[in-house]
Amino acid sequence: MNHLLQLANKESITRFSRELAMSSKFASATSWFILLIIIYMLASFSWAIWDYLQPRQAISISSFNNQTSQQQSPKLNVNKIISFNLFGNAKSEPKKVVETGQLDAPVTRLNLKLRGVYAASEENLAGAMIEANNKQEVYRIGSKLPGASGLKLHKIMSDRVIMSRGGRYETLLIEDFGKLGNSNSNSTRKVTSRRNKSNSNNTAMTIDKRPSTGAKTIDKRNDKNLTKELLKLRSNLSDPQSLSELVSISAATKDGNFQGFRIAPGKNRALFGRLGLRRNDILTQVNGISLDDPSTALSLMEQFKSAEEINLTIKRGNKDMNIVFSAQSQ
């Protein structure tokens, strides 16, 4: 029995010795691994300090500038660089620019339409009929225009106007009513030739003042008070916008064809009514000249200055009628 106890104790001691030896080896390996890490960290820290303590090579900016200034600067060929297309080829179409003397005035993108121009020799007499939101008004140079904030009429030409906005210029070309299928160039030439005849002779207009046959005629030539108001209105024709006090106009079309000007009362509604006019009347002729082209409207302003009588032909519903006024001092 004692012998068995001795053997068991001997085995326990042997096993414990082996485990202690293995533990010692593991602890020894762990210690060596930690020591290596510490040595690596110390070495890295030492090299960092050494590198920091080394003197830096100073760069002499002044000497560099002196050397470059002594060398001749090569000239850049800008056109050649542009031809390389370093950023690719532009696919967008170039902006359309209209030649207007010294002005760089691209065609405007604003929703405006130039219906007619009155390009007088004196700028203060010139006017332009511009449509915005289906409403037409006559503007003179310097007037504020609809369509954008700060937009003004800068210059009036025979087939276009120049507008200014924020120091930049834009071109508004005259609306081509030929696209609508009924633009009569003979009518325009007729107005121009008669206007030139008036300028050369300085006499009253020799135009056809007879009412259209078959149409009802309203004769207001004997209304002296009305004549006085018309003469007062005519004296203000140097300002094209004075007509807006009496009437506002817009283009009247049917099946794509220009018929004339649809009229509505302006600020002076009382005078509009006394003239025998009604809202939505379509003005088709003035003193025998057909208004089948928008450009004729402003050309007639000069004729009104010397005409002794004014005969308006209007279409009211399906009926044509004439209204005759006296424009002669009594």
- Domain 97-175 fold is SH3 type barrels. (2.30.30)
Pairing between β-strand 309-316 and β-strand 152-156 as defined by DSSP bridges = unpaired
CA Rg, the chain, in Å?
47
Inter-CA distances, 25 with 28, 30, 35, 261, Å:
5, 9, 15, 113
Query: pLDDT averaged over the chain?
Result: 69
So what's the pLDDT on residue 206?
35
Q: Is the pLDDT of residue 164 over 80?
A: yes
- What's the pLDDT band for 37 if we cut at 50, 70, 90? confident
Q: Is the pLDDT of residue 210 over 70?
A: no
> How many angstroms separate the CA atoms of 301 and 125, rounded?
10
Q: Which residue has the higher pLDDT, 30 or 61?
A: 30
So what's the pLDDT on residue 122?
64
Q: Is the pLDDT of residue 71 over 70?
A: no
Question: Per-residue pLDDT tens for 102-117?
Answer: 678 899 999 999 887 7
Q: Is the pLDDT of residue 264 over 50?
A: yes
- What's the pLDDT band for 153 if we cut at 50, 70, 90? very high
Of the candidates 289, 259, 291, 257, the one whose C-alpha atom is nearest the C-alpha of residue 178 is 257
The secondary structure element, H or E, covering residue 227 is helix 224-235
- What's the pLDDT band for 251 if we cut at 50, 70, 90? confident
Q: Is the pLDDT of residue 265 over 70?
A: yes
Burial 11-21 (b: 16+ CB within 10 A, else e): eeeeeeeeeee
So what's the pLDDT on residue 146?
92
So what's the pLDDT on residue 238?
58
Question: Per-residue pLDDT tens for 266-312?
Answer: 888 888 899 899 999 999 988 888 887 766 666 566 666 677 888 99
- What's the pLDDT band for 315 if we cut at 50, 70, 90? very high
Q: Are 172 and 161 in contact (CB under 8 A)?
A: yes
Instruction: State pTM to two decimals.
Output: 0.47
| Domain parsing of the chain, residue ranges | 97-175, 185-326
HSE-CB of 250 using CA atoms within 13 angstroms: 10
How much is the average pLDDT of 147-164?
90
Q: Is the pLDDT of residue 195 over 70?
A: no
Nearest 10 degrees: Cα torsion 188, 194, 199, 205: -130
Domain 185-326 is in which class?
Answer: mainly beta
- What's the pLDDT band for 321 if we cut at 50, 70, 90? very high
- What's the pLDDT band for 239 if we cut at 50, 70, 90? low
Q: Is the pLDDT of residue 225 over 80?
A: yes
Q: Which residue has the higher pLDDT, 198 or 282?
A: 282
Tell me whether the CATH fold assigned to 97-175 matches the one assigned to 185-326.
no
**pLDDT-above-90 percentage for the chain:** 15
